Structure 1
């Protein structure tokens, strides 16, 4: 009781500076009830259907990337680091037991005692000390400081896990859009090659008519110019292929020839499934970046509590059990056993604002984490609105481009027929052919944009 009474003044002094952490409001952001550009009714389309899962190149590249992509390896390493930190924080709540052994030799000068020693008393001036100890210490964490630090570490593990999920979604979306762009280039090239064949046929026909004296040589020159324009546009596609190849090499960690072999696999045209209906509130539970930001906010909240707990006294229990002898043969005798048991109390008294400054810093970090959480929420909302709008606009553009292509092709065929019958001049045929050529490539590009918009929607709604 006397020992406990001696601790009361320190506890009282610690209580003078102790108190709860500052309250910082972190309300859930208010989201609208529906997306402005979402479809009117639920379509039943699964979210995963928005990806080009029917394309074997995407399936193969995605599987290879998920097994060995550098970006995912970095994310996994960050998870492991966070888990190690959580294990370290959890171990702080348990006793710390250590063992040590020592051999110390010492030599004493008798003159240090001032004068001659009394008769019959001598001092062993050279001694060797043998010791072995087991020490234990434990902080019972009366005020929750260590517990709050462990909660913060566990929240960081959660944040790192969701960050890894966001990296995975981004990786799959990048691969999907790259494969779609590759297929779009192939479709554009096919359209341009048809245009080139038509232009070469016009060149041949114009040459025949020129040789027969039916039409001027200028018609042949204009037809050759149209053919060269198609060749130039076909050649320009090579640079886009090189860019996509390099991008896929970076994403998948595969050599370029392996990527190209995979992309050469035949695939159907990208599908245009109806976009699935979703609510803005689902972003809070489905978007990994939002969940990661929420976990980071929880970690900063726990860190603030741990920092505020520094204003309370810290109580530590310790014990030592050991052996001490000046003769190696006597080390395990009963008289060689030594030990101690005790407790210590550390409480802040006058720190001249050090702890308060740390608490203010932790509070600022929590405010920052909350601002980042709100930013993640509204970024997700903006991404979803954009993606829904892009899908709707791309679908309308694709429908219009396909109608334009069909009309332009009919006009080009009709103009060619009239020209062969002598009912139309060559300029009319050439202009109709140019219009049809451009509309075919535009339809292919519009189909690619429609498929890309669905991948963006997949990622915006949280991925898989």
Structure 2
């Protein structure tokens, strides 16, 4: 044993040092809100919308993507359980019946007088065996740590899948409500354009205006009808996307989307710090867990350079007559230990160590990428919320102003103080501004969903995900 330990030490040594210093983060976001708010992160989702509440509940219970994530968690949990079991003794039992036929000629010439050989024998045996790798240098412990880290990574990745699923459903519901608001605005524009066409027709029949005014008014109405018809294709795309996300039939999805919509809301963006992303973003947590797993795998590879001590024992029964199997003389047993030490492997273990070191470098690069991706997503989310709110405010002011101008132009036309072209131009401006305001409101709500996901979203437990 001393010789084996000494020879094993010739190839042993510490694993290579790899710098995994976390990347520095700024003290605050560049697009952070001007003042801290008490808004909650969950308020950024349209939780008050019954369509989102029902669709998200169905998705969390039966979505294909979550089922895949749950299966990966169970696979990682089984791997962790197996790695932990490898550190414990392995106990097995067996029973056997063996028949042997011997040729006496194999012993040469005639046997001495009084000596005979039973050429046919049947042996009955039962054994209890045990073996145990003492793991003196932590190889099995390192593999168990790696398996536990991979379980943590699978859990964090499942959380990321869950958050992405909720964000996609929220965005789809918001898009559906935005289409409804755009159609409502276009429908109002159509009714106003049809009113202008009727007025122009009345004045044409009275000889007060040319027929060209009526034709132009009807063309404006047709343009509104065309834009309304174009919304149907967008609805089909949204419904199809929700079928994929939720695993529900199209009829069920459309039934839920037809529920009454609440009043649109733009809650304030909650304040956060870049350092909080390290604890809240599931993709960053998954990358950190994968880095820990790679570090443990490197330690396990380095431990292969040290000797492995295994204890073994066997206790059994052996008899050549079934009736004598449990007699005192049938008991047999062995006990011993084995020491396996690398002497000349011609670089095999070093190659494993180099591969594990490369995996750790890759895991650290992935971790840094996840951190900066999270930082960029959060900056984008805060910036989009602020920009979308400014756009919405401007669009609402534009709509109010355009509607006043359209009403004023209509009043002046009826009084004979302006021509029909002025009325049409004012009507076109009001029509376009109403639809733009509805679209801007949808973008403002969508920006909040993006910020919710960028800041980490929900953090459910692994048990709730696997369920």
Which among 49, 53, 71 is matched to residue 55 of structure 1? 49
Aligned to 1:304: 298
CA deviation after TM superposition for structure 1 residue 115, in Å? 1.3
Q: Is the 8 A contact 1:103 1:128 kept in 2?
A: yes
CA deviation after TM superposition for structure 1 residue 164, in Å? 0.8
3-state SS of 1:135 partner: strand
CA deviation after TM superposition for structure 1 residue 355, in Å? 0.3
3-state SS of 1:132 partner: strand
- How many residues get paired? 458
3-state SS of 1:187 partner: helix
Counterpart-to-counterpart distance in 2, 1:287 and 1:167: 12
Counterpart-to-counterpart distance in 1, 2:398 and 2:62: 44
Deviations 1:286-327 (Å, cap 9, x if unpaired)?
Answer: 111101100010001000000100000000000000111111
Q: Is the 8 A contact 1:325 1:336 kept in 2?
A: yes
Correspondence 1:236 to 2:227:
no
CA deviation after TM superposition for structure 1 residue 270, in Å? 2.2
Deviations 1:53-87 (Å, cap 9, x if unpaired)?
Answer: 11111111111111111111111111111010000
Aligned to 1:26: 20
Correspondence 1:275 to 2:269:
yes
Deviations 1:168-226 (Å, cap 9, x if unpaired)?
Answer: 11111111111110000000000000010011111111111111111111111111111
Counterpart-to-counterpart distance in 2, 1:116 and 1:217: 135
3-state SS of 2:131 partner: strand
Counterpart-to-counterpart distance in 2, 1:127 and 1:272: 89
Q: Is the 8 A contact 1:180 1:270 kept in 2?
A: no
- The within-5 A match list for 1:217-232 is 217-232=211-226
Aligned to 1:313: 307
Question: Please, what TM-score do these two structures have when normalized by structure 2?
Answer: 0.97
3-state SS of 1:343 partner: strand
Counterpart-to-counterpart distance in 2, 1:137 and 1:15: 25
Question: Please, what TM-score do these two structures have when normalized by structure 1?
Answer: 0.98
3-state SS of 1:324 partner: strand
3-state SS of 1:311 partner: coil
Aligned to 1:95: 89
Counterpart-to-counterpart distance in 1, 2:163 and 2:263: 23
CA RMSD of aligned residues (A): 0.7
Correspondence 1:400 to 2:397:
no
Correspondence 1:44 to 2:44:
no
Aligned to 1:77: 71
Aligned to 1:108: 102
Counterpart-to-counterpart distance in 1, 2:262 and 2:422: 36
Counterpart-to-counterpart distance in 1, 2:262 and 2:235: 19
Deviates more, 1:66-75 or 1:350-359: 66-75
Aligned to 1:324: 318
Aligned to 1:384: 378
Aligned to 2:253: 259
Aligned to 1:365: 359
Counterpart-to-counterpart distance in 2, 1:90 and 1:357: 26
Which among 333, 351, 367 is matched to residue 345 of structure 2? 351
Aligned to 1:187: 181
3-state SS of 1:131 partner: strand
Q: Where does the alignment leave 5 or more consecutive residues of structure 2 unmatched?
A: 459-467
Counterpart-to-counterpart distance in 2, 1:258 and 1:461: 32
Aligned to 2:155: 161
Moved over 6 A (4+): none
3-state SS of 2:114 partner: coil
Which among 131, 146, 164 is matched to residue 137 of structure 1? 131
CA deviation after TM superposition for structure 1 residue 269, in Å? 2.8
Counterpart-to-counterpart distance in 1, 2:262 and 2:52: 12
Counterpart-to-counterpart distance in 1, 2:354 and 2:72: 28
Counterpart-to-counterpart distance in 2, 1:418 and 1:268: 38
Which among 184, 195, 200 is matched to residue 206 of structure 1? 200
Counterpart-to-counterpart distance in 2, 1:424 and 1:270: 38
Q: Where does the alignment leave 5 or more consecutive residues of structure 1 unmatched?
A: 1-6
